[in-house]
């Protein structure tokens, strides 16, 4: 096994530890969100999806079930801007080799490996889902403040 392969194996092991740490934090954050904000979270999602619910009425006398598409448009616009900023150049990342590094192929191998892993795991799609979720939360909170 070459030195580079050993190093990559070691980095993958470190990556597993990072994934476990992130997963544990996400579980804690999700539990906190569900305990403290589940009702608001559900309301924001209904606004975003344009779904009517009687519990979203501001007054008992309201009869209208019209749902404005403004939330959906705001989320789509916000997500499109982020997507263009991140993926607009065509390259998701670029790594420059250390000036003093004598082996110039190690960075190319790493870039190729990362590119392969990103394509294999559909990283662009995953990132777009994260952007969409973030946009829903931000836009939903702004709309929630407007309705209060």
- Given a contact cutoff of 8 angstroms between Cβ atoms, the answer to whether 47 and 140 are in contact is yes
SS3 31: helix
What residue has token string 């190729």?
112
| Long-range CB pairs of 2-6, under 8 A, 24+ apart, other chains included | 4/106, 4/109
Percent of the chain with pLDDT over 90: 0
Residues 121-142: pLDDT tens digits? 888 888 888 888 777 776 555 5
Model confidence band, residue 60 (pLDDT cutoffs 50, 70, 90): low
Residue 120 lies in a domain: yes
pLDDT at 46 over 80: no
10 lies in a domain?
A: no
Task: Look at phi and psi of residue 50 and say left if phi exceeds 0, alpha if psi is from -120 to 50, else beta.
Answer: left
pLDDT one-digit tens code per residue, 75-122: 788 788 888 888 887 777 777 777 777 777 888 888 888 888 888 888
DSSP state of 54: G
- Inside any domain, residue 9: no
Q: Which comes out higher in pLDDT, residue 6 or 26?
A: 26
- Please give the pLDDT value at position 100: 79
Query: Can you list the positions of beta strands (E) in 1-133?
Result: none
Residue position matching structure tokens 């009869």: 63
pLDDT of res. 65: 65
Instruction: Give whole-number Cα distances, 134 to 99, 108, 131, in Å.
Output: 38, 33, 5
Range of the domain at 90: 38-52+67-147
Overall average pLDDT of the 34-58 stretch: 77
Provide the number of structural domains found in the chain.
1
pLDDT band at 20 (very low <50, low <70, confident <90, very high): confident
CA distances in angstroms from 77 to 21, 71, 72, 82, 138, listed in the order given: 33, 10, 9, 9, 13
């Amino acid at each position: 096994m070459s030195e580079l392969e050993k190093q990559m194996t070691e980095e993958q092991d470190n990556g597993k530890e990072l994934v476990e740490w992130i997963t544990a934090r996400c579980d804690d954050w999700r539990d906190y969100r569900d305990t403290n904000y589940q009702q608001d979270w559900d309301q924001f999602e209904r606004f975003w999806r344009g779904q009517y619910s009687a519990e979203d009425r501001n007054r008992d006398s309201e009869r209208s079930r019209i749902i404005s598409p403004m939330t959906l448009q705001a989320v789509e616009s916000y997500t499109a801007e982020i997507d263009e900023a991140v993926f607009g150049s065509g390259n998701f990342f670029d790594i420059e080799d250390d000036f003093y590094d004598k082996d110039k192929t190690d960075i190319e191998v790493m870039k190729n490996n990362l590119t392969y892993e990103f394509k294999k795991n559909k990283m662009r799609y995953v990132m777009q889902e994260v952007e969409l979720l973030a946009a829903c939360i931000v836009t939903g909170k702004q709309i929630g403040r407007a309705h209060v």
